[in-house]
Amino acid sequence: MTPYDDIPAQATAATQPLLDTFARRVSYLRVSVTDRCDLRCVYCMAERMVFLPKAEVLTLEELDRVASVFIGLGVKKMRLTGGEPLVRKGFMGLVGGLSRHLGNGALEELTLTTNGTRLAQHAVELAALGLRRINVSLDTLKPDLFQTLTRGGDLAQVLAGLEAARAAGLAVKINTVALARDNAAEIPALIQWAHDLGMDLTLIETMPMGEIEADRTDQYLSLSALRDDLASYWTLEDLPLNTGGPARYVRVRETGGRLGFITPLSHNFCEACNRVRLTCTGTLHTCLGQDDATDLRAVMRDGGSDADLAEAIRTAILGKPKGHDFRIGGAPAVARHMSTTGG
């Protein structure tokens, strides 16, 4: 028996918001549905990744169940990510199932972060299931460089995916990792291209997550320096938009588009953090940059009830750390890869 057993899920959420000890309300869950991917981006994965055995990864039923318990606890926004979510078999069925929470208003937004390679096949269905916005990661518009950065990817597939998404009425935000050597000079052209097509673009600093072959320090590009450079020829107007995450937004007056900066290394965004992350193995991380972890898969596979799951989630959130501890140089702040945690 837990303190929530007698209370219907909606009432629990309404009367007991998911609060941590710093009075931050958790309303946003990112769920990684797989650690696998059809690309091998140099900053994300090792060339020869060892992927998890299937038995360790949550089944689609377990993913739906745990996500639904979070929604019962007041999570309003959910982002599905990976690895590459669209390579997970049965993924569209999961989206279809979770979309019932959009239909009844419990969930305000269901969204997706994808590399875009399989978007052309799925965009129409994603829109039909109630997704309104998606994030597509793209670091260059040069086919050769794209192939190098992703270790074998085909840019044309991603561009076709973007076309299909826009044609299906999905709002698209491009995520671009800023890499000192590889795409720094191309970034203004990428921004102009995205804005010309009516897409927002967000720049991301490389984060020290997981051991990979390359030394990230020499690819680190400070976004504050980049922002100063862009501001020397564009007018960047601060936007009040705060998503509860590490992104800050400006409007580029000359292009009319929105530009975001995700700077986990150079700015502290933790005080307004509203999010937690669930890995594809059912581990809940309440902070991207700390090693705190709660095993929700064990609760489910040991026969726990939804109330047990809810209690484990509440306990984990009470332990949400005040902030992260990322630093450039030295060992990764956390050993897990971004593809395991979900970006």
State the DSSP code for 64: H
Closer of 71 and 80 to ligand SF4 (Cβ):
80
Q: Which residues bind ligand SAM (CB under 6 A)?
A: 37, 43-44, 81-82, 84, 113-115, 137, 175, 177, 204, 206-207, 209, 338-339, 343
At closest approach, how far in Å is the CB of 153 from ligand SF4?
A: 8
44 versus 300: smaller Cβ distance to ligand SAM: 44
Q: Which is nearer to ligand SAM, 244 or 304 (CB)?
A: 244
CB of 41 vs ligand SF4, minimal distance in Å: 3
| CA 80 – CA 91 distance, rounded (Å) | 10
Footprint on this chain of ligand SF4 (rule: CB under 6 A): 37, 39-41, 44-45, 82-84, 115, 137, 339
Nearest to 112 by CA among 62, 160, 165, 150: 165
- Output the six-digit token pair for 14: 């309404």
Query: Shortest approach of ligand SF4 to residue 135 CB, angstroms?
Result: 11
Identify which of 254, 187, 269, 173 has the alpha carbon closest to the alpha carbon of residue 226.
187
| Distance set, CA 324 to CA 47, 106, 118, 235, 287 (Å) | 27, 30, 33, 32, 7
Residue 227 to residue 222: CA distance in whole angstroms: 9
The CA distance from 138 to 169, in Å, is 19
Answer positive or negative: Cα dihedral of 90, 91, 93, 94. Answer: positive
Query: Which residues, in sequence order, are CB contacts of 61 under 8 Å at separation 6+?
Result: none
| Nearest to ligand SAM of 95, 207 (CB atom) | 207
Could you tell me the smallest distance in angstroms from the CB atom of residue 86 to ligand SAM?
Answer: 9
Which does residue 71 touch among ligand SF4, ligand SAM, none (CB within 5 to 8 A, set by kind)? none
Taking the least distance from each CB to ligand SAM, the nearer of 294 and 339 is 339
What minimum distance in Å lies between the beta carbon of 307 and ligand SF4? 34
Q: Least separation, in Å, of the C-beta of 186 and ligand SAM?
A: 15
Residues 337 and 81 sit within 8 Å (Cβ to Cβ): no
Closer residue to ligand SF4, CB minimum distance, 51 or 234? 51
Task: Give the CB-side neighbour count of residue 205, counting CA atoms within 13 A.
Answer: 25
If one counts every other C-beta atom within 10 angstroms of the C-beta of residue 197, the result is 13
For 213, the token pair is 């072959």
Which residue number places its CB atom closest to ligand SAM?
Answer: 343
CB under 5 to 8 A by kind: which of ligand SAM, ligand SF4, none does 81 bind?
ligand SAM
Q: Which does 40 bind (CB under 5 to 8 A by kind): ligand SAM, ligand SF4, none?
A: ligand SF4
**Smallest distance, Å, CB 172 to ligand SAM?**
12
